[in-house]
Structures are given as C-alpha cells and as structure tokens.
C-alpha cells in the first residue's frame, strides 16, 4: 500500500488567513505586510500658524497623538476647529487620530476639509489615501498618492503606499517599480521601516515567481531588522518553493524563536521536515501547530492539520509494513 502525499506549492496568502491548508496541499504561505506609512502628527506644512501657545488646543491635540491618546486628541483638535484656530492642520491631525482608531469615514471627511482649506496639504492626501486603502477603495487611494507625488515628487511615502495598493491589486510589476522609487527617495529613516519596503518588494517578486530576487529582498529586510519574524517567514516560504527545504526549516525555526505562538510557522516547518524525510519531526511540528490553532480557535486549520498528521502516520505505517515484508 503506497500513500502519495501532495507536495506542490500554491500561491502565497495573507498572514492571518487559513486557506493555505485547503485540499491538503503542502504549501508555504508568504506574509503580506501591507502596512502603509502613517504621516507623523505635526504642525502642518500647509499652514504657517505654527507659533502656538503652550495651552492651545492644537498643540495639546498633537501631544496626545504622540502619546497614543487618540480620543483625547480628537477632543482637543475639535475644540481647535470650533475656535477657528489652526483649522487646516487641526483637520489633518484629527484625520490621523481617526485613522489610528480605524474610523475611516470620519478620517476621509476630515482630510477633505483639510484639503479644502489647504489644497497643497500633502499630509492630508497621504492620510486620505491610507483611509481609502483600508476601506478597499484602491483606485481612490492611488489617486491620492499620485497627488502627493505631483506636489512633492521626492516623498518616498507616496511611492511606497502606492506600491502597497498595487500589490493588493496584483499589479506586481508596477508595485516593484513603486518600491524601487520609494527606496531611491528615502532619507535617513529608521532601518526597520526600510526593511518593510524590502519585505514588500520581495513579496511582489515572489508572486512573479522571481524566487532568487525575492529571497534577496527578504534577506535584506532581515539584515535591517533581524527581530522581525515576518521576513524570516517569507524567506522560509521562498526557500520551500525553491526546493531548499533545509533552509526553509532554518527560517521557520527562527520565526518560532522570535514568535513562539506562530502556528503557521510550526505547520510550515512540519511540511519542510516531511519533505526532507524527517517524519517524526514533521508530526511533532504539526501537533504543535494544532495546539496553537485550537487556542486561536482556527477550527478549519486545526482540522486540516490533523488530517495531514493522519496521512503522514499512515504513510509511515505503510512503509514499515513494506520494510517488514507484510
């Protein structure tokens, strides 16, 4: 009796999905980060009234944003708007606070007002573009980022954000072009944010089956931010699809070290171990994956993984019977 376990790979899926387990296909799923850059709270460059007093509503609102107190920030910025003070900048920064609270409709409305009072307010276009993206209005998001580029061609954030939208739309070649433009314009920025761009460019290259270039991008992301488990996860996926299961195991092991609750990393390491012929190690990893999926209440992922364990155990039993001459 011979069992043939499927070993083909399917297209990468979102990090928080479970459809990578359907039809018992042993696959490696790539993390999609897609985290557009937020614009920092600021005394908007579109206005000149930045000489505010220590007690102004506007300044207090900005300080609250910087400390993550978004509801309080909205209250102060609303008072600033009602007092007819630094209105354009207040709308722009209130939009940013609403983005953080995922209140996208209000964020878009406030950005519209900011643009009305200051048509060249780059931050408002960036924030509105992000709100449109989060709502799934991808063409509107692209239009806003195009407007930023027209007003400020050296702003890397607009190129990056447009690349994220193009990735979502599966326009991978255009996304790569946008990520390249972002990297060519980026100033001295924190290395972990540059790593995000390399990670996302690697994803687009993975989708285009350019696995060597994808692995190089994921490696660059790791070099810039060695504590980000997503880049290791992605490189492990690329290694697996390229047939390099030994290095896939290495990368998924690093994911588990950095993020011990990542059930998908256990699952994918189990797949790689199976393909390497290490069946007991594969079963142990898949059993750990089941534990995490149960805890996270991912019922479908749990069921599919249990079925995969059963298939591997049956394969081992069949091989043992053949070896014993039964």
Q: What is the CATH number of the domain that holds 249?
A: 1.25.40.10
Band of residue 56 on the pLDDT scale cut at 50, 70, 90: confident
CB 136 within 8 A of CB 172: no
Cβ atoms of residues 112 and 132 within 8 Å: no
Residues 237, 6: Cα–Cα separation, whole Å? 17
Q: What is the DSSP code string of 184-245? A: HH--S--HHHHHHHHHHHHHHHHHTT-HHHHHHHHHHHHHH-TT-HHHHHHHHHHHHHTT-H
% of the chain surpassing 70 pLDDT: 81
Mean of the pLDDT values across residues 274-281?
94
Would 181 be classed as within a structural domain? no
Domain that holds residue 17: 1-30+188-326
Shared-domain flag, residues 309 and 240: yes
Residue 283 lies in a domain: yes
At residue 189, φ and ψ (nearest 5 deg) are: -115, 160
* Residue 215 near residue 238, CB atoms below 8 Å: yes
| 26 and 56 part of one domain | no
Residues 12 and 44 in one domain: no
Does position 321 have pLDDT exceeding 80, yes or no? no
pLDDT digits 0-9 by tens, 215-230: 999 999 999 999 999 9
Q: Encode pLDDT of 183-215 as tens digits.
A: 999 887 778 889 999 999 999 999 999 999 999
Determine the 3-state secondary structure of 132 from DSSP.
Answer: helix
Please tell me whether residues 11 and 101 are part of one structural domain. Answer: no
Residue 7 lies in a domain: yes
pLDDT at 317: 75
Are 123 and 107 spatial neighbours (Cβ–Cβ below 8 Å)? Answer: no
pTM score of the predicted model: 0.81
- What b/e string do you get for 11-34 counting C-beta neighbours within 10 Å, with b at 16 or more? ebbebeebebbeeebbbbbbbbbb
The whole-number average pLDDT for the span 154-179 is 96
230 contacts: CB under 8 Å, gap ≥ 6:
15, 31, 33, 199
- 141 domain-assigned: yes
The residues, ordered by sequence, that sit 6+ positions from 152 with a Cβ below 8 Å of its Cβ are 122, 158
Of 134, 155, 176, which residue is a domain's last? Answer: 155
**For 116-145, what is each residue's pLDDT tens digit?**
999 999 999 999 999 999 999 999 999 999
289-305 average pLDDT score: 94
Are 201 and 295 contained in the same domain?
A: yes
Pick from 135, 155, 175: which residue ends a domain?
Answer: 155
My answer on whether 213 and 304 are in the same domain is yes
**126, 219: one domain:** no
How many domains are there within the chain? 2
With respect to residue 173, please indicate whether it lies within any of the assigned structural domains.
Answer: no
**Is the Cα torsion angle 194, 14, 294, 9 positive or negative in sign?**
negative
- Whether 106 has a pLDDT exceeding 50, the answer reads yes
Q: Which residue, 55, 69, 62, 56, is CA-closest to 89?
A: 62
Report which of 10, 11, 14, 12 is spatially closest to residue 33, judged by C-alpha positions. 14
Tell me the mean pLDDT in the region 20-28: 30
Indicate left, alpha or beta for 144 from its phi (over 0: left) and psi (-120 to 50: alpha): alpha
Say if 202 falls within a structural domain. yes
Q: Please determine, for residue 324, whether its predicted confidence score (pLDDT) is greater than 60.
A: no
pLDDT at 52: 43
Both 117 and 26 in one domain: the answer is no
């Amino acid at each position: 009796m011979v069992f043939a376990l499927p070993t083909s790979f399917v297209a990468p899926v979102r990090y928080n999905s479970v459809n990578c387990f359907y039809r018992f296909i042993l696959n490696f799923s790539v993390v999609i980060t897609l985290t557009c850059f937020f614009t920092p709270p600021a005394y908007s460059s579109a206005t000149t009234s930045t000489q505010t007093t220590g007690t102004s509503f506007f300044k207090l609102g900005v300080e609250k944003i910087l400390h993550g107190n978004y509801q309080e920030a909205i209250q102060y910025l609303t008072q600033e708007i009602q007092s007819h003070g630094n209105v354009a900048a207040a709308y722009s920064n209130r939009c940013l606070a609403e983005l953080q609270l995922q209140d996208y409709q209000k964020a878009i409305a406030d950005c519209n007002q900011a643009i009305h009072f200051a048509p060249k307010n780059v931050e408002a276009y960036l924030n509105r573009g992000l709100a449109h993206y989060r709502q799934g209005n991808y063409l509107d998001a692209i239009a806003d980022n195009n407007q930023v580029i027209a007003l400020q061609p050296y702003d890397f954030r607009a190129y990056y954000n447009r690349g994220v939208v193009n990735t979502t739309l599966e326009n991978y070649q255009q996304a790569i072009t946008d990520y390249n433009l972002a990297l060519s314009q980026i100033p001295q920025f924190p290395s972990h944010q540059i790593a995000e761009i390399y990670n996302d460019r690697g994803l687009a290259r993975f989708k285009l089956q350019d696995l060597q270039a994808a692995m190089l991008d994921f490696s660059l992301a790791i070099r810039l931010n060695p504590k980000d488990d997503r880049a290791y996860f992605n490189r492990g996926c690329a290694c697996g699809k390229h047939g390099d299961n030994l290095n896939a195991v290495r990368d998924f092991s690093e994911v588990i070290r950095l993020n011990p609750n990542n059930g998908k990393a256990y699952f994918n390491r189990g797949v790689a171990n199976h393909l390497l012929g290490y069946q007991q190690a594969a079963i142990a990893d898949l059993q750990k994956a089941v534990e995490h999926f149960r805890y996270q209440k991912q019922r479908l992922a749990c069921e599919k993984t249990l079925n995969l364990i059963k298939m591997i155990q049956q394969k081992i039993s069949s091989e043992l019977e053949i070896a014993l001459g039964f």
